[in-house]
Structure 1
Amino acid sequence: MAHHPIRGFALAAIFSSLIAAPAFGQSLDLSKSTIVDLTHPFDSKTIYWPTSPSGFELKSLHNGLTERGYFYAANSFCSPEHGGTHLDAPLHFARGHWTNAEIPVDRFVGPAFVIDVSAKAAADPDYLLTPEDIAEWEDAHGRIPQGAIVLLRTGWSARWSDRKAYLGDDAPGDATHLHFPGYGAQAAALLVVDRRAKLIGIDTASVDHGPSQDFLVHRIVAGADAAGLENLDNLDKLPATGAIVFALPMKISGGTGGPARIVAVVAR
């Protein structure tokens, strides 16, 4: 089909208007925005839960010249669902709830509301977000709306290169002596049940704090058909409000979670 310059211009104008259209009370103008990567790379050093039987594995299938003389490279990879920067689907802790592939795609995109407890977590590595923390944040920034993506900044992503510092323990196969901050159960219920947040995320290995053995926060979030984002990076580069997050996991049929490339759009 021949290219029609007027039609192409019209389509470009329509697309531009959609991109700049208000959504969630915000405008998304990419020409005046910074894209922040909230994702740790996947490689041999990626952190997985201590009881995971394996980590991220990358195998080269071909890397070099082909018989016809051109360069070609391809790999295969293998990874547990839960490790590195990833999403927890509701099915992870709630029987019969959404799998990765069943989560409506519009739930992966939305306004970010960043709660910073890094100072409190520095003083207490097992710190739990409280309803009082949320009330204090809302006093300063306004009520968290329905459909929010709430991100908890603890400062733990700075420890990513040191497994023991990040998890609080590095005993192989043992998850009973971990230490890192997380959401408290009451705070999680306030966010996903009362405020009806669709995603909650954190820059640690779990939305439950390290010492948890009952994973109550996971159960509360999954039971509300919300989802969790874990092992986030660069939350210090996001404002308390105003960013828009795109958190797209692999679309795994029957999946309980999966690796995700998560980015935020922040107005300059």
Structure 2
Amino acid sequence: MSVLKSLVGAIGDGTVEVIDLTAPLSPATPVLRLPEPFANTIGFRLEEISRYDDRGPAWYWNDIHTGEHTGTHFDAPVHWATAKDGQDVSQVPVTRLIAPAVVLDFAAEAARDPDFLLQIDHVAAWEKEHGPLPEGGWLLYRTGWDARAGDQEAFLNGGHAPGISAECARWLAERSPIGGLGVETVGTDAGAAHSFDPPFPCHSFLLGAGKYGLTQLRNLDRLPATGSVVVAPPLPIVGGSGSPVRVLALVESESGPGESR
């Protein structure tokens, strides 16, 4: 049996589970809010074109109004000044959009301290237990923050949200083999990252190194620490700095074919 036929069969019989890591996209989706004088993105909005009426009797469709960085979205390198000559979202090689993933779970720490920061020592301890970070893969950073996604104020939390220290961000960008970072928060940086040196180090270092970001993920608690594969295809927006994305994870089921996990 071919590899692809085997994969389709495994998905069909439940041997491989497909887990949606994407937050629903609606006008209620939380969006980043920058202080004045900085410009802000718009939220998501549908504008109806027709709905089985005299504007179009047999069809329903909408225009969509949204920012590139609204909801679960993909950050391309050109999003940041450190990679202003880097790839836009349409130039990201498609082979980079399907990659192995690992989950570093620090939800308990973030529950105790909303300003919790991932440090190099945390990553080193995780690698000692689980093995090296995946070459070209995703580091998915679980903080439990997706539980707040239904409430804009709770999600932004007055600028107090977990993230990654500047030193760790630089290490992940320059020393680790990962291809990108995925988080549950509104952006890849901590809520207080504007005060770090440099400001917003995950954006600065990782995008500057030609790596990618995924934000506002959910269901990371359903993934194993190692062994999943993430599929994250953004819209190929020419000149775009990012795009909303439907992020899926493929996970080998712990139960047999046809059984519930």
Structure 1 residue ranges, 4+ long, deviating more than 3 angstroms after superposition? 18-21, 65-68
Partner Cα separation in structure 2 for residue 54 and residue 65 of structure 1: 29
CA distance in 1, matches of 2:9, 2:74: 24
Partner in structure 1 of residue 50 of structure 2: 62
Distance 1:239 1:131 in 2: 21
**Secondary structure of 1:126's aligned partner:** coil
- Aligned-pair distance for 1:29? 3.5
Q: 1:120 aligned to 2:138?
A: no
Given candidates 241, 251, 268, the residue that maps to 2:236 is 251
User: Equivalents in 2 of 1:223, 1:28: separation in Å?
Assistant: 40
Give the count of matched residue pairs: 240
2:79 to 60, 71, 92: 92
Conservation of the 8 A alpha-carbon contact between 1:66 and 1:72 = no
1:58 offset after TM fit, Å? 0.4
Structure 1 residues 145 and 65, CA gap change in structure 2 (3 angstroms): same
Q: Flag the 1:211–1:142 CA change in 2: closer, same or farther, 3 A.
A: same
Offset of residue 53 of structure 1: 4.5
The more displaced of 54-63 and 149-158 is: 54-63
Larger mean Cα displacement after TM superposition, 156-165 or 183-192: 183-192
Partner of 1:195: 176
Gaps of 5+ in 2: 35-39, 254-261
Residue of structure 1 equivalent to 2:4: 18
For the aligned residue pairs, the C-alpha RMSD in angstroms reads 1.9
Residue 235 (1) aligns with residue 220 (2): yes
1:66 CA displacement: 6.1
Judging changes above 3 Å, is the alpha-carbon distance between structure 1 residues 19 and 49 closer, same or farther for their aligned structure 2 residues? farther
Could you tell me how far apart the structure 2 residues matched to 1:29 and 1:59 are? 39
- Output one character per residue of 1:175-217: Cα deviation in whole Å (capped at 9) or x when no partner: xxx1100122222232232222111110001111001111122
Match of 2:206 among 221, 229, 242: 221
Q: Give the residue type in structure 2 aligned to 1:88.
A: D
State the AA in 2 paired with 1:39: T
Partners of 1:197 and 1:61 in 2: CA distance: 43
Counterpart residue type for residue 33 of structure 1: V
